[in-house]
Amino acid sequence: MKTAQQLSSKKLTSVFVASAVLFTGLAFRLPSLEIPSVLAQVPEEMFIQDDKALPMPTLLEEPATETEIAPLNESKTTAQTQVTLTAIPPRIGEDNSLKALPGEKLQVQLRVRNLSEKTVNVTTRAQDFILSSDGETPIAIDDVSSNRWSLASWLTIAPTENTIEPNQTIGLNVLIEIPEDALPGGHYAMVLHQPSQLTNDFELQEDSQSAVNQRVGTLIYVIVDGDINEEAYIRNFSFPTFTEYGPVPFSYTIENNSDVHIVPQMNVEVFNLLNKKVDDIQVGSKNVFPLTSRDFEGKWQRIWGFGPYTAKLTMSYGSSGSIVVASSKFWLLPIKLVIAILTTLLILVVLALSIKKHLNHRRDMDRKRIAELENQIKNSSSKESDQDDTLQL
């Protein structure tokens, strides 16, 4: 017959087994994770700053190559009044190719294409711009008296009035005359193309929202050679302090205190607790105009991680390849999974100890019973011996 202690021990064992099964189930009921594919192409956002050069709002969406620029504010009028122009290229000189000394002249050629089904008269002019408070969106201005980066007044465009047939591309010559007293550094302007009217016996209505307000253009970057200050900083480089699962986002700000725009080349290295590099993160580059700041974002595409990590951001910029470094510490650890595993291990340890204690108790009980039986046999033998002695007497 089983003792009460044995029954209690078996009940305890059953409880621990049930708990282990429960926590193991919880450990593997983790949310499904979608592992994002890493795009091999440069994100579209790397062109946002320059693409927003036209605040009309017509955006330049293509990279600085001889590709077309489709305007975003397509009119909602009839197909007869819809005009689509493209400026080729959307940007020129951002690679510092338009560089000259004060008093020198440069000449570039731009193109405009009419993708409409109507012949269009187009007016072209140059205009300066400033950046909005976000450091990304250029805003066209007419007053250049206080604009240290002005370029529009140096440009001579020929011709400024053009008639473009359907699906025709025409060329424009832009002469850049740098004044003798020009300040060294970057100077920037937009060359804008705007439809003035349609031909082929079709007049634009005054209330039409079609091509009248549509402008496309090219951003021109000119650098006046001389004593140019190049100075930039990394601000607010940070990861979330603690993350359970990736991808892990990060952000930082580039502050450009230079006399010229910069196109910083950036790379993020990730190191583990033992200071061993575990990954490299390539970050897309963007223009940062003089005396402005621009925000950058990225993601570390690692899903699983265990422990603290240190990220080091390295930025090179300018004609001399100046280097700036910033670092940030963060944790990537699936804490719920770790707790579930540790809890399961603890339950298994307690269960093993309980079973061991139960086995030791049974062994002790068996030894005690054997000892009692041996004593009983010994006592029984002694009594029989005494009885035999009495009968002999």
Fold classified for 48-224: Immunoglobulin-like (2.60.40)
CB under 8 Å to 96, separation ≥6 — which residues? 221, 223, 319
Whole-prediction pTM value? 0.63
Exposure b/e, 69-107, CB count within 10 A at least 16 = b: bbbeeebebeeebbbbbbbbbbbbbbeeebbbeeeeebe
The yes-or-no verdict on residue 46 having pLDDT over 50 is no
Nearest one of 271, 269, 240, 266 to 253, comparing CA atoms: 266
Q: What is the total residue count of the chain?
A: 393
Tell me the residue type at 163: T
Residue with tokens 């012949």: 119
In this predicted structure, what is the pLDDT of residue 186?
94
Residue with tokens 């950046």: 131
Q: pLDDT tens across 64-111, in order? A: 333 333 333 333 334 445 778 999 998 899 888 999 999 999 999 999
Q: pLDDT tens across 120-163, in order? A: 999 999 998 777 666 667 677 776 556 788 999 999 999 999 99
Tell me the residue type at 66: E
Angstrom CA distances, 275 to 234, 238, 243, 267, stand at: 22, 18, 20, 17
In this predicted structure, what is the pLDDT of residue 360?
87
The span from the CA of 193 to the CA of 89, in Å, is: 13
- The one-character DSSP state at 370 is H
Average pLDDT over residues 202-228: 67
In CATH, what class is 230-333? mainly beta
Q: pLDDT tens across 251-280, in order? A: 999 999 999 999 999 999 999 999 999 999
In this predicted structure, what is the pLDDT of residue 24?
46
